[in-house]
Every structure is written in structure tokens, then in C-alpha cells.
Structure 1
């Protein structure tokens, strides 16, 4: 098994991504023959309903996470909620799942976003080079 630091998490909610504000988190590659990963996030109680519905109804949840360093590409996982523990100040959410292929990759989304913003020519190239490194969130996340 290999364990990695979870840097950020977003939950896919219909056509938008919901930023999950984290206190801490980790992700474990179980390195089993099924390709199973475990994701644990420590977050605010206000995010429990997002995961509780999936847990109660045995629904799959798509999460997008960044592992180890903010500059890394986000990875999408198809998960199920295993456990929700309400702690005094936070909640611990444990998910199990498999790595999935994203519908489209970050560079394509970034380029589309910059074109929609009206960038052209050298200005487009400059913005693309900057943002491909800094990796700002290009989808407008829902605020909770």
C-alpha cells in the first residue's frame, strides 16, 4: 500500500464541482488486484449532507482530488461512502473507489476557459503558460 497527502477535493454534483474545504486528508492506493483506493477527508460538518445522501442510498460519488502537490493534475475517482464520523469540530469521511478517466483533461478545459474569456494570440499563450503551472480552478465551484 502507498499513502499520499490529499491537497484538495471536489465533489461532482450534476454539472458542477463542489469545493470541499478540508482540514486534512489522505489517500491510499491499496495496490490490490481490483485497483482500490481509500480516501479520507477531515472537513467541516456542513459537508456531511453531500456524503450522507450517497451513503444512505448506496450511490456512487465522483470526487476529483489533487494529491501530494497543488501543481499535480487532478485525479477523478468513482467512489462509495464507507463511513461518516461526526467529530467534535470536524467530520471524517471515508470513501473507497477506483481511479477513473476524466471526461476531458485540464489543458483542454483551461484553453476553452481562456478562449471564452476573450484571450487571443500572444496574450492567450502567456495566460495559458501561467495558468497551466498555477492550476487555478477553471470551473466555477459551488459555494457552500
Structure 2
């Protein structure tokens, strides 16, 4: 392509969740890509072939031009989740699925996963040696965490 400014990087989407207040909703999809446009605005595109039950969520957000906080894991499941503030560009229904295109920016809300995991395990009552064992095990397994809101 030469030096036409097309230095986009494409990654495979492994998982996708939508954050709503203090909860995360898993979005089931058949295939997905995330593209770093490498532009001056720091734009990313997320394209996912989502299951039909999620179509209304994206259609409503598109119609209302609503921001959606989207958390994704890219390339391999062991990677830390990345959080994006996105808007829905389009929703195209295809049989029992929809092709959803989101445009957004990486937020600096990037989770401090190890610290969140430690806090979560302490809230579960783990202490001393068992805390270390659970921490090591879960740092590899990467369970999804939803911590209670601080009051």
C-alpha cells in the first residue's frame, strides 16, 4: 500500500462485555475483530457478529447515539481486558445474527486486574497462604470480576 497512512492493526476479538453501572454483560458472538486505526484521534473499531438476543441492545444505543463502555480481550484469553468508550456505528441483521460496528477510544480505565483480583479474593475471605494460592490460580484463569461499588 505504500505510505498512504494505512497502518491499521487488526486483532482477533476473544471476548466482549458491555459495562452498565456496576455490572458486565457478556456479549455472545461468532466472530469478531478489533482494529486500531492508528490515526491522530486514537480511534479503534470493533466489529462483531453477535447473537440475535443482543441486537436490541445495540440498535437502541445506535438510535440514541449513546456511549457504550465496552470491555474486550483481544488475541488470547490470558490478556488483560481493555476498556473502550464506544458508539454504535451500525447494526446489520443477518439471519439469526447481526454484524455490529462500534467506534471508540481506549479509556485509561484500563483495569488494574491484579489489584482488583486481590481485593476480590480478600472480600471472599481468603487469607495468608490460601490467598496466595487463589491469587496465582486466578491470575492465570482470569475470571471476570465485578467488585461492589464503594460507598
TM-score class, shorter: over 0.9
Q: Tell me how large the CA RMSD over aligned residues is.
A: 1.3
> 1:32 aligns to what SS in structure 2?
coil
Q: Give CA deviations for 1:14-73 in whole Å, capped at 9, x if unaligned.
A: 221100011110000000011000000111111012111211111111100000000000
TM-score normalised by length of structure 2: 0.89
Is 1:94 the counterpart of 2:101? The answer is yes
Tell me by how many angstroms 1:139 deviates.
Answer: 2.3
Does the 8 Å contact 2:82/2:111 carry over to 1? no
> 2:115 aligns to what SS in structure 1?
helix
Instruction: Tell me the equivalent position of 2:3.
Output: none
Instruction: Tell me the equivalent position of 2:19.
Output: 12
- Counting only pairs closer than 5 Å after superposition, residues 63-74 of structure 1 correspond to structure 2 as 63-74=70-81
Q: Which runs of 5+ in 1 are unaligned?
A: none
Tell me by how many angstroms 1:103 deviates.
Answer: 6.6
- Rounded to whole Å, the distance in 2 between the matches of 1:70 and 1:119 is 25
Instruction: Tell me the equivalent position of 1:24.
Output: 31
Runs of 4+ in structure 1 off by over 3 angstroms are none
Q: Which protein, 1 or 2, shows the higher relative CO under an 8 Å CA cutoff with sep ≥ 6?
A: 1
Is 1:80 the counterpart of 2:87? The answer is yes
Q: Which runs of 5+ in 2 are unaligned?
A: 1-7
Tell me by how many angstroms 1:138 deviates.
Answer: 2.1
- Rounded to whole Å, the distance in 2 between the matches of 1:102 and 1:7 is 19
Corresponding pairs, count: 140
Instruction: Tell me the equivalent position of 1:139.
Output: 146
Is 1:49 the counterpart of 2:32? The answer is no
